[in-house]
Amino acid sequence: GYIAEVDKWWSTLLPVVKPYLYENGGPIVMMQVENEYGSYGNVQTNPLDKQYMQHLVDLARSILGNNVILYTTDGGDTGYMSRGTLPGQVFTVGDFGPGDPEPSFAAQKVFNPKGKSPNMCSEYYTGWLTHWGEGMANTSSANVAKYLEQIIALNGSFSLYMAHGGSNFGFWSGANGGGGTSYQPHITSYDYDSPISEGGEYGYGSDGLNKFEAIKEVLLRHPQPFDQPPPPFPDVNPTAYGTVQFNQSASFLGNLRTLTSKFFSNQDNVKPQEMYNQSYGFTLYTNLLRGTTGSIDVRE
């Protein structure tokens, strides 16, 4: 199952990572073992969730050793963090933004040893994602810069999420939701209203300000000894395609046998798609009902 695949992947990946750890003279100072698990599981109330997290920690330490700093990241309050971290075994940090960083920094101190909880935002949100049916996400550049300044003033570390927008290819776009009818699929674009847009241009906030320049101005006010002058921004000249006329079409369901070679028939015990070694995309289930009269009661 899933854990077996995790074990196989980490047992292949982590030995490659190990020589690049900070303790070995490399650039990797920390390793994140899970991402926002407190939004989905609860290590406080569910023994299986705790067992899962413990397994990840034990596996990472068995390969990387006991000196590497392992950490988890969750939403920036004690609720999310309590459900997604293992105090005393990993470094607990939050993600947030743009907004007051102090609540998240205070929350992480609840779970980390006293004096060993440097302020950190693992994902400082420079924008936001967009779901189908919504307008493109657009957040204030001034706010992003303002609260980034506060993080630095509090001697905090941060990672810009996202620094550069991108694209969700194939079936990898994902979705948000809480189960059932709470389902918000992401669009193909992951521009994220980032300081560098999906197309490589400057990103602009809802206030009309250049988000890249706003962040750069903050960083330049706090120079570091190892800083290098920022490279010149590339000359990007986007070109509009104009009107594209579609004159051909094809039925999706009518061409399934052309699009895929995976078919299973006469299944007495229908299984989720993961059990057919299909980890992403869509699976179509069909059934032929034989009969001449009567009614059908369909339930979830």
Whether the CB-CB separation of 263 and 278 falls below 8 Å is answered with no
Beta bridge pairs of residue 74: 94
Which of 78, 82, 71, 5 lies closest to 49 in space, CA to CA?
A: 82
CA torsion sign for 123, 107, 152, 218 is: positive
3-state secondary structure of 160: strand
Beta strands in 204-274 (DSSP E): none
Which of 68, 186, 192 lies closest to 124 in space, CA to CA?
A: 192
The owner of tokens 């609540």 is: 103
Whether the CB-CB separation of 158 and 148 falls below 8 Å is answered with yes
- What does the block give as tokens for 13? 């990946």
Angle in degrees, 0-180, between the axes of helices 2-17 and 47-64, rounded to the nearest 10: 30
State which H helix or E strand residue 167 sits in: strand 166-167
**Which amino acid, one-letter code, is at 147?**
Y
Whether the CB-CB separation of 58 and 23 falls below 8 Å is answered with no
279 vs 262: CA distance, rounded Å: 13
CA 232 to chain centre: 29
Q: Which residues are catalytic?
A: 36, 123
